[in-house]
A = this chain, B = another copy of it.
Amino acid sequence: MAATLQNDRFLRALLREPVDRTPLWMMRQAGRYLPEYRATRAEAGSFMGLCTNPELACEVTMQPLRRYDMDAAILFSDILTIPDAMGLGLYFSEGEGPRFERPLTSDAEISALEPERCRDELRYVMDAVALIRSELNGKVPLIGFSGSPWTLATYMIEGGSSKDFAKTKALAFDNPASMHLLLEKLADAVAVYLTTQVEHGAQALQIFDTWGGALGHRDYEEFSLQYMRAVVERLPREADGRRVPIIVFTKGGGQWIERIADCGADAVGLDWTTDLAKARAQVGDRVALQGNMDPAMLHASPERIRREVASVLASFGHGTGHVFNLGHGITPGIDPACVAAMVDAVIELSPAYHSA
């Protein structure tokens, strides 16, 4: 029997229900900017060692909550666990980010992919979800997550990060049948992966479409948005008698916000290039919005950070439907005291936007 949730303002804001103040969490809040994270990672030996060890993954998930009054925890994992489970061989090389030992190079390799392998291979993720949920003991809700089908596809085809996604786009443009087969398989895998996370205790879900913004405005619908919609349609929307809100975040998707707002998700994540006030006017009461302070602002002084928080809050304005967050993940070099300045500012300044 799950512990009673003591702080539900994150879930409430995502469903545009009244809250006492704007909830906040931070993308990559369990991360390298924290010395205790670096210590645990050293103990794990490697990044994947950390991801695949439920106890250590639980430990780093809890770390930011001990320092800051975050309104949600997010599963510590990587967006590339699904392709790894499909046999591509994920590894991390210093300075280069994630890489795959066996990137996809042919139609035959795409046809041979088995989405159902994710169920067994990713048990370590589900063990971490269950352990974190238990460890949270109702303090705040737990967010589960996955990469979007398109974002996963880019890494699987390029073999790692890319500047221009030449191979992925060449496949999409010249061999769309094969690309759509890959994206369908990934949508299957993502839907199963997120559903299983909910079954193990995730109380909200976020789909990270990190590279959707690299697509042209027509191609975004065809290769990214339609597959996120397919995933959202197949997700459980309730657990423990409570709605499980879904957040879709396309970095660089500000121009397409109205289309994203119609994909079936409860909330849309925004990066810092988008004007929250304008976005709110565009989406109306269809979805909540999450974001969107420039992560680079955390390099500034606490006073400057406080002014920026004030500006982001004012931009969204009065009423519920806003989850404060960065516009992308926090970067490794940030001073934890600067995060504290941001958190304090949200807690102190946001109640004024929720008074009756």
Contacts and interface: CB of A to CB of B under 8 A. Distances in A.
Interface of A: 164-166, 169-170, 173-174, 213, 215-220, 252, 254-255, 272-275, 294-297, 299-301, 304, 308, 311, 327, 331, 333
A170 B216 contact: no
Contacts of A165: 296
> Can you tell how many copies of this chain the complex includes?
2
26 contacts: A164-B295, A164-B296, A164-B331, A166-B296, A166-B333, A169-B294, A169-B296, A169-B297, A169-B299, A170-B300, A173-B296, A173-B299, A173-B300, A173-B304, A174-B299, A174-B301, A174-B304, A216-B273, A216-B294, A217-B273, A217-B274, A217-B275, A220-B273, A255-B255, A255-B273, A255-B275
Nearest to A305: B173
A113 to B, nearest CB: 23
Nearest to A167: B299
Taking chain A's interface residues, is the majority helix, strand, or loop, or is none over half, making it mixed?
helix
A129 to B, nearest CB: 30
Contacts of A218: 275, 311
A219 B164 contact: no
A105 to B, nearest CB: 15
Given A255-B255, A273-B255, A274-B255, A170 B296 contact: yes
